[in-house]
Structure 1
């Protein structure tokens, strides 16, 4: 990787940890064509549909995508690298869906990274230095938001405000819909602490799991879902 800049190497690392598919796809393309080519995000984007296309999806598809979305957010805060990933902004184009029903992060340009072991170790009164991690998502000449101000619920609140209501609103029978709406409002308000919000997310996931189906529309987990609750 001698030809890559430090920024490119870091982008590669967090892309691999969040969503390895585009890297694996590029490796396959390189070997198949027999030539070295730069990453081709347009090729990856062309094979997906943005989440906005699924706002009118049937209930079982909406429930499945919502569960995947919650799983992505959970993995951003808990991973083997001991990094905390967060979004500075989310919209309907941030996530994409493959033809097999698998949801992934389509646009990683708004992802921020905090090293859990070092991100909160500033001495009182010490100014944060402008490291290369910060330069991945914002102008290095700008002032940075303190790592201490970013909480685990940061991304979840944005997703509850911008995406989940449009995906889940009016999709299910009562009293299930009422419980879902209540959670989303509670989450969007952002008043709960991280632990209680995580507990609420777990309850929402348990509520959504029986609402999805196990059939060929969800090829990313079919037919495995017939034999294991994991899927």
Structure 2
């Protein structure tokens, strides 16, 4: 049975037109091309339609193998949003338990893109952009508007990781694994979620957490999105 979700609308600007980032992103970065976003249907962008999906919050009580799989996928999604062949940098302004969803084949995707911003890194370096860079609502496709938007180059690489490691992954991974694995996971989560740490340390902690989680996943038909490929390919 289909699930209909109405995306949160962007805050009303002082300018004549307010823009919701959610339908724009679904059209510019379609799931059919590999982006972790739901399929866009319709012309007005009022509804997003998906089949047999559940929000991440429904899996907070999942067993260790499923929790490890979802956390591993989530870190992989954030990595692909930060570094991809098209040189776009995506970042979240905030996340909650409904931001991400899981399809009936076990695959994780971005369920609500209204808090997702995107920067085109091919437009030039910070030095080239200088003080004269455009700061209208379309520059970064920010959700919501402010009197003066922050520079695209002021968004740290670690931003999405800090939000996810602080607010979502602990709910999914705490008290799920035996010692000393749980202690290693908790330590990596603590470091990944510390906003005061420089970008390389947060990125390193996230990479270490991903390495810990990888062997904790199982390969069986419950994870249809990667089965039976996981039986023959180390990539899965």
Q: What TM-score results when the alignment is normalised by the length of structure 1?
A: 0.82
The reply to whether residue 153 of structure 1 matches residue 158 of structure 2 is yes
Q: Mark the CA change 1:192 to 1:54 in structure 2 (over 3 Å): closer, same or farther.
A: same
Superposed, 1:1-150 pairs within 5 Å as 11-16=26-31, 18-19=35-36, 21-23=38-40, 26=41, 41-44=47-50, 47-118=52-123, 120=126, 121-124=128-131, 126=132, 128-134=134-140, 137-139=143-145, 142-150=147-155
What is residue 171 of structure 1 aligned with on the other side? 176
What is residue 195 of structure 1 aligned with on the other side? 200
| Contact 2:220/2:228, CA 8 A, preserved across alignment | yes
| Partner Cα distance (2:143, 2:212) in 1 | 35
Q: Mark the CA change 1:187 to 1:134 in structure 2 (over 3 Å): closer, same or farther.
A: same
Deviates more, 1:198-207 or 1:14-23: 14-23
Superposed, 1:219-230 pairs within 5 Å as 219-230=224-235
| Contact 1:82/1:116, CA 8 A, preserved across alignment | yes
Which runs of 5 or more structure 1 residues have no equivalent in the other structure? 27-35
| Contact 1:11/1:136, CA 8 A, preserved across alignment | no
| Contact 1:10/1:133, CA 8 A, preserved across alignment | no
Q: How far off its partner does 1:22 sit?
A: 0.8
Normalized per residue, the structure richer in helix is 1
| Partner Cα distance (2:179, 2:193) in 1 | 21
Q: How far off its partner does 1:117 sit?
A: 3.1
| Contact 1:92/1:163, CA 8 A, preserved across alignment | yes
What is residue 212 of structure 2 aligned with on the other side? 207
Q: Secondary structure at the match of 1:197?
A: helix
How many residue pairs get aligned? The number is 212
| Partner Cα distance (1:156, 1:132) in 2 | 24
Q: Mark the CA change 1:76 to 1:131 in structure 2 (over 3 Å): closer, same or farther.
A: same
Q: Secondary structure at the match of 1:203?
A: helix
